[in-house]
Amino acid sequence: MLASIPSPPSGSIEIGPLSIHAYGLMIALGVIAAVWLTGRRLEQAGTGTREDIQAIAIWAVLAGIIGSRLYYVVTDKSDPWRDPVKALQIWNGGLGIPGALLFGIPTGMWLAKRRGLSMLAVADAAAPALPLAQAIGRLGNWWNQELFGRPTTLPWGLEIDPEHLSQNGVTYAVGTLFHPTFLYEALWNLGLCLVLIWIGHHIKLRPGRLMVIYILGYFAGRFWIEGLRIDNANAGGGLRLNQWVALGVIAVAGGFLVVDWARHRHDPESIEEPDDEYVPADE
Instruction: Kindly report, residue by residue over 219-274, the tens digit of the pLDDT.
Output: 999 999 999 999 888 889 999 999 999 999 999 999 999 999 998 877 765 444 44
In this predicted model, what pLDDT tens digit does every residue of 100-147 receive, in sequence order?
Answer: 999 999 999 999 999 999 999 999 999 999 999 999 999 999 999 999
Measured CA angle at 56 (ends 51, 57), to 5 deg? 95
| Any domain includes 1 | no
| Any domain includes 99 | yes
Give the residue, 72 or 270, on which the prediction is more confident.
72
| Any domain includes 197 | yes
| Any domain includes 3 | no
DSSP secondary structure string for all residues of 67-119: HHHHHHHHH-TT-GGGSHHHHT-GGGS---HHHHHHHHHHHHHHHHHHTT--H
Spatial distance between the Cα atoms of 273 and 47, rounded to a whole number of angstroms = 12
pLDDT above 70: percentage of residues in the chain: 87
Spatial distance between the Cα atoms of 30 and 51, rounded to a whole number of angstroms = 18
Check residue 88 and give its pLDDT: 63
Based on the structure, what is the number of domains in the chain?
1
| Any domain includes 278 | no
| Any domain includes 275 | no
In this predicted model, what pLDDT tens digit does every residue of 75-92 receive, in sequence order?
Answer: 776 665 566 666 566 655
- Mean pLDDT to the nearest integer, 142-158: 94
pLDDT above 90: percentage of residues in the chain: 69
| Any domain includes 90 | yes
| Any domain includes 38 | yes
Q: Which domain holds residue 131?
A: 12-264
pTM of the model: 0.87
Check residue 94 and give its pLDDT: 67
Check residue 270 and give its pLDDT: 47
Contact 36, 132 (CB under 8 A): no
